[in-house]
Structure 1
């Protein structure tokens, strides 16, 4: 399943349109009702496209990350010690595919929680998602998270273009997608170009039922993926026919997507009533040349 996923470069990046996901007022919490329905994207898993180059797990990266950038202090540190601020947009699209409902997102105990299960608000089996709308061209992102085991739901941590209409031409950067119901590993992908050319690591082993930090450095010269501070996959322009994304800014998206079939296995007898993804923090750095 996961090897096939890497071969065709399917991402779980089904996020809301930027224009529809703005509009929460300052201080709105995760359970606040949006002023208008927040619309999810309609991108669906596709077929292999011309220009595709799939890659297996990498054990080293080149050039050495960090040598050409002075990151300094992060521009954003979100520890989830209070209600979500106005930069967050919670998706509320229970009739889209995948379905998401705003009542499946909450904050407590210094963590953000995304839940998959039957929503009281929607009255159906759904997932959850939200975006942090600080769009920027290039930079560094880190997210520390864990997720309960359970078929029927898959977490994704990714960067998505400013506007849904710009996908896939402007790219997509998947820091981690954990399809495996046991959460013992996940996939990493970079998409770019109108034909959805892509490269990726099909399965990076880690026990995601425990907290891990995933990250990416998106630069003009490379896109480097990290797990717990260690680089494990580096993409340069020569590795993908379309080159690296540089058409426009992206923003961070966090998702726990509901599914039944390919690529997300259906719920089964071992799946708990609700599957929860906990996010401990996010950090975002601006791109600064040395």
Structure 2
């Protein structure tokens, strides 16, 4: 995801995250995806080969109840943006999952998403996700600085599912005002539940899929200063277009998230 258009910069970022779910009512849309089996979240195993002393998560959510927890999340809203548009109406909680429903709202394609209130430098982020098929939409889980460009330009995408059939996803690290980037591709069927994760520590960024390491990056693009927030977003992006087979509404689901602070021994 490039540092372009409406989502770049402190003032613009603030404009995007204006509504908590409770304030818009989180009106639901029925999803064609079924809810996860009971116990999926608690059965997820910790990634291997990382520090043993991560401790308890500092932020977690199993998305129980009927509304998004406004103490933990802001709703992404940018209905008139030139790219990465989004409306609050597409975000709702039901059946123990967070539903991010992109599609046609008011005659225009709009995405849906949430942003964690928690911002931290270094740690581990995990999310259990899946996504419906549909050309033109990208299901994403990524870290974005609280203040882009102050003190640095950085972004870590630990799930950027660009393919319309959801059979592959991208891993990206963005760096610098000129948006340099490095990337890898994972080949996974994201129409099924998978746990994606990333460890961001001094000198390295390590990506995980279902508890297995997929990429350990130690190059110069590792962020070093920016406090990061977790974004979960189902988005229509600039340059992406729906086709005749694209459904009117496309759902990305999130079963649970866990965020850990980096242990002092790893800093």
Unmatched tracts of structure 2, length 5 or more: 28-47
- How many Å apart are 1:65 and its aligned residue? 3.8
Aligned length: 239
The SS at the match of 2:89 is helix
User: Structure 1-normalised TM-score?
Assistant: 0.74
Pairwise mapping of residues 91-106 of structure 1 onto structure 2 (< 5 A)?
A: 91-96=76-81, 97-106=83-92
**1:262-277 superposed matches below 5 A:** 262=239, 264=240, 266-277=241-252
Structure 1 residue 14: Cα displacement: 6.9
User: What is the 5 A alignment of 1:46-195?
Assistant: 65-67=49-51, 70-82=53-65, 83-86=67-70, 87-96=72-81, 97-119=83-105, 122-166=106-150, 169-195=152-178
Q: Of 170, 181, 190, which residue of structure 2 is paired with 1:198?
A: 181
> 1:197 and 1:65 mapped to 2: Cα distance?
28
Using the alignment, how far apart are the partners of 2:6 and 2:200 within structure 1?
20
1:213 to 171, 195, 201: 195
Are the structure 2 counterparts of residues 85 and 24 from structure 1 closer, same or farther at C-alpha, using a change threshold of 3 Å? farther
Task: Report the 3-state secondary structure (helix = DSSP H, G, I; strand = E; otherwise coil) of the residue aligned with 2:264.
Answer: coil
The question of whether the paired residues in 1 share the 8 Å contact of 2:17 and 2:77 is answered with: no
5+ residue gaps, structure 1: 1-8, 34-63
2:213 corresponds to 1:231: yes
RMSD: 2.7
Deviation at 1:156, TM superposition (A): 1.1
Question: 1:30 Cα shift?
Answer: 6.0
Q: 1:24 to 1:180 in 2, by over 3 A?
A: closer
Mapped partners of 1:11, 1:211: distance in 2: 29
Relative to the length of structure 2, the TM-score reads 0.80
Aligned partners of 2:157, 2:84: CA distance in 1, in Å? 17
Could you give the per-residue CA deviations for residues 41-100 of structure 1, whole angstroms, max 9, x where no partner exists? xxxxxxxxxxxxxxxxxxxxxxx8414x62112112100003222331112211101211
Moved segments of 4+, more than 4 Å: 9-18, 21-25
3-state secondary structure, aligned to 1:28: helix
